[in-house]
Amino acid sequence: MRLTLPFAALLSLAAVAPLPALAQDSAHAPAVTVASAQTRPMRQVVPVTGSLIARNEVLVFPHTGGFAITALNVDVGDRVAAGDVLARIDERTLTLRVAQAEAALSNAQAARGQAQSQVSASEAQLRQANQVLERMRALRESGTATQASLDEALTAQLGAEASAQSARDGVQAAEAALEQARASLEVAQLDLENATITAPVAGIISERNGQIGAIAATAGEPIFRLIEDGVVEATTEVLETELVLLHPGAPAQLRIASLPPVQGEVRRVAPIVSATTRLGEVRIALEDSDGLRPGLYVGGMVVVADREGLAVPLASVLRDTEGSFVYRVDGDNALERVAVDTGLAWEGWQEVLSGLDAGDEVVARAGAFFAAGDHVRPIRAGDTPEQSE
């Protein structure tokens, strides 16, 4: 009995004696999910929405108006080459105009010939009058001829000179009339050629407004609209705060209707922003526009930054008046406040530019409920309940 009592007392003391401080802290430390800082792909994107449009739309008008359309050779959706005949208009009147212009040109050529002959005749008369005048002056000086004879010779010379000048002016007028006749013939021939309406560029017919029998007009609606080379692109509008991030050549990933994803790149960024909507236009060239139609809805994103960087879960980063920080877990499972500089945020991860090294463990969630120096029980991805005890 004397041995039993001390042993029982020892058991009682052991039951009420405090555990070591570290064992007590580990048992009562709150469990917290932690994550390691790791290198991950990081992106910055600008969302875009818009529509498909023709990059270059070509309007086909008849260059000769006022005549009936006699043939339409293509329809919407047809692909044409430059120079292909699209339509024809009635050319009978135009053919007659060419014949009239040719006749007028022949008349002008004959008139020029007559004017040149007149110059030759008047110049011959002028030479003769000059010779007579010189003889009369010589005779007058010798006293053989009278003053009246000299005056008559002078008058005749002046008349011949005036006739010669008039003939020369007539040649110039005939030359001008001839040039006008040539120009009129060229216009008539051009109008006749324009009765055949051809494609100015290669492309796809996107609209046809002409009808056989309708009078072709050089104003109003064009007979055809062409998508040059069949190239379409996306036109989108972007907020002014994000427009400054974009630049030509930036890659884009687009979704168009129910089609597979389409790749592209920014071709043009508008130099101005609408003062009303605060939006700016962005044109996106597509890698493959076959089968795409203007008017289709476009959605997607433009990638303005794409790199690998050290990152932690987005919820790990906290912010206060002193800046951004995380709680790092040290070797004793105590929390250490670490200031960090942040970069891109992508798919739930925050890029850390400075403050952490790869492999550092940080509180992944609920960091706002802790303070520096707190001890925690880390729970890592893949830990079993027994491992987290």
- Does residue 3 form part of some domain? no
Residue 67, domain CATH: 2.40.50.100
Residues 157 and 278 in one domain: no
Tokens of 195: 């009765």
Helix, strand, or coil (residue 189)? helix
Rg, C-alpha atoms of the chain: 48
* Residues 35 and 96 placed together within one structural domain of the fold: no
The DSSP line for 219-252 is SSS-SEEEEETT-EEEEEEEEHHHHTT--TT-EE
Encode pLDDT of 259-313 as tens digits. 889 999 999 999 999 999 999 999 999 987 777 889 999 999 999 999 999 999 9
Nearest of 194, 199, 242 to residue 224 by alpha carbon: 199
263 shares its domain with 184: no
User: For the stretch 147-163, what's the b/e string if a residue is b when 16 or more beta carbons lie within 10 angstroms of its beta carbon?
Assistant: eeebeebeebbeebbeb
At 354 the pLDDT is 94
Q: Give the length of the chain.
A: 389
123 and 188 together in one domain: yes
Instruction: Return d(Cα 351, Cα 313) in angstroms, integer.
Output: 9
Strand 85-89 with 203-208, pairing = unpaired
pLDDT at 143 over 90: no
- Report the pLDDT value the prediction gives residue 75, as an integer from 0 to 100: 93
Closest CA relative to residue 223, chosen from 377, 71, 9: 71
Confidence of residue 218 (pLDDT cuts 50, 70, 90): confident
| Local structure of 109: helix, strand or coil | helix
**Same structural domain, 247 and 370:** no
Convert 70-94 into a string of H (helix), E (strand) and C (coil).
Answer: EEECCCCCCEECCCCEEEEECCHHH
Measured CA to CA, the distance from residue 265 to residue 260 in angstroms comes to 17
For the record, the structure tokens of 4 come out as 């039993």
Within the chain, residue ranges assigned H as helices are 4-16, 21-28, 92-142, 147-193, 240-243, 385-388
43 pLDDT band (50/70/90 cuts)? very high
Taking the C-alpha atoms of residue 53 and residue 268, their distance in angstroms, rounded to an integer, is: 14
- Mean predicted lDDT score pLDDT of the chain: 86
pLDDT at position 7: 41
**Residue 52: exposed, middle, or buried by beta-carbon count in 10 A (0-12, 13-18, 19+)?**
buried
Domain-located, residue 21 = no
Q: Which amino acid is at 281?
A: E
**Is the CB of residue 60 less than 8 Å from the CB of residue 82?**
no
CATH of the domain at 340: 2.40.420.20
Residue 15: what pLDDT? 40
**How many domains is the chain partitioned into structurally?**
4
pLDDT of residue 1: 38
* Same structural domain, 180 and 235: no
Would 275 be classed as within a structural domain?
Answer: yes
At 118, list the tokens.
């007149």
Tokens 């960091």 — which residue?
367
Asked if 292 and 313 sit in the same domain, the reply is: no
User: Measured between alpha carbons, how far is 355 from 347 in angstroms, rounded to an integer?
Assistant: 21
Are 113 and 188 part of one and the same domain? yes
According to DSSP, residue 195 is labeled T
Q: Do 64 and 210 belong together in one domain?
A: yes
Q: Tokens for 10, please give them.
A: 């020892």
For residue 366, the SS3 value is coil
Q: Are both 187 and 121 inside the same structural domain?
A: yes
pLDDT in tens, 147-161: 887 778 788 888 878
Q: Is 15 helix (H, G, I), strand (E, B) or coil?
A: helix
Q: In 3-state terms, what secondary structure has residue 68?
A: strand
Do the beta carbons of residue 262 and residue 286 sit within 8 Å?
Answer: yes
Q: Which residues of 40-50 are buried (b: 16+ CB within 10 A; e: fewer)?
A: eebebbbebeb
- pLDDT tens readout for residues 343-356: 999 999 999 999 99
Nearest-angstrom CA–CA distance, 304 and 319 = 26
> What is the span of the domain harbouring residue 87?
57-91+201-226
The pTM of this model reads 0.66
71-116 confidence digits (pLDDT tens): 999 999 899 999 999 999 999 999 999 999 999 999 988 988 888 8
Residue 325 has pLDDT above 50, yes or no: yes
Q: What angle do helix axes 92-142 and 147-193 make, rounded to 10 degrees?
A: 170
Average of per-residue pLDDT across 4-26:
43
